[in-house]
Structure 1
Amino acid sequence: MKLRHVTVDCADPYELATFWSGVTGWPVSDQDTPGDDEVLIEAPPPVPGLLFIRVPEGKTVKNRIHFDWQPTERTRDEEVERVIRLGASLYEDHRGPQGRGWVTLLDLEGNEFCIEREAKPVT
């Protein structure tokens, strides 16, 4: 069995997919356009794609599952600032002494996700 997509329910699939495309650097499928009810971000294999699907109800409670991202080209703090510039909002800051910890952010529709510390120092 293979995990093909991670699916996110949302109000505006194209807008949210465009945000996440900016975060990840993965392209929005060239088959998708604004107003579509389903929009796919194509991740590099073997990573599953991110599929955004329009639903009528809004988010009402904390996510039961969320993404934890680890920067590979920037430090955690640089990545947090970059993603905030893309439109994310700071939710909880769990950074501690000696650079430990993570930051929890909200995407454009209030879905929580975390930026963890980079695996090794970025040069």
Structure 2
Amino acid sequence: MAIPWTLGCDAVDPHRLAAFWALALGYVAEPGYEDPDGASVVDPDGRGPAIGFLRVAEAKTAKNRVHVDVRVAGEPPWDPAERERLIRAKVAELAGAGASVVREESYGGPHLGHVVMLDPEGNEFCVA
């Protein structure tokens, strides 16, 4: 049996970062979690892990050793054109919410594989 777990994240502005990741993942603020120095978001369907954000004084200084892949295209098999449309739509939405695009990657073919982005505090993640 799997053990429930939470992804813990440092943040200069935990409430802003929690709001960004709630939008990115379709999560909601964790009911009853109210802390000026922290925020938590949860899967409204109860399937995915919670993500907690705790205030720290220092900004991010190095590359992430772990990152989130936002998988908007679902599971294979994929229609390449539809997959690319879904990825690009999510990238545009997240860029509008404060993320930035680092680069696009393909897997040796003509179709988009994933887009590497930075969240509002500079944490790397991918949209695939």
TM-score category, normalised to shorter length: 0.7 to 0.9
TM-score under structure 1 length normalisation:
0.82
1:40-51 pair list within 5 angstroms: 40-43=40-43, 44-51=45-52
Given the alignment of the two structures, is residue 81 of structure 1 paired with residue 81 of structure 2, yes or no? no
Q: Match of 2:54, SS? A: strand
Query: In 2, distance between residues paired with 1:31 and 1:54?
Result: 18
Matched, 1:91 2:92: no
2:103–2:117 CA contact under 8 A, matched in 1: yes
What is residue 78 of structure 2 aligned with on the other side?
A: none
Per the TM alignment, residue 38 of structure 1 is displaced from its structure 2 partner at its CA by 1.6
RMSD: 2.0
CA contact (8 A) 2:24 2:94 kept: yes
Separation in 1 of the partners of 2:122 and 2:102? 9
- The number of residues matched between the two structures is 115
Residue 1 (structure 2) pairs with residue 11 (structure 1): no
- Equivalent pair of 1:92/1:103 in contact (CA under 8 Å): yes
- Give the whole-Å Cα distance in 2 for the aligned partners of 1:4 and 1:79: 26
Displacement after TM superposition at 1:72 (Å) = 4.7
After superposition, residues 32-71 of structure 1 pair within 5 angstroms as 32=33, 36-43=36-43, 44-71=45-72
Q: Deviations over 1:63-83 (max 9, x none)?
A: 010001110586111111111
Aligned to 1:119: none
- For residues 26 and 58 of structure 1, what CA distance do their matches in structure 2 show? 24
Cα displacement string for residues 46-91 of structure 1 (whole angstroms, at most 9, x for unaligned residues): 3111111111221100001000111058611111111111111011
> What TM-score do the two structures reach when normalised by structure 2?
0.79
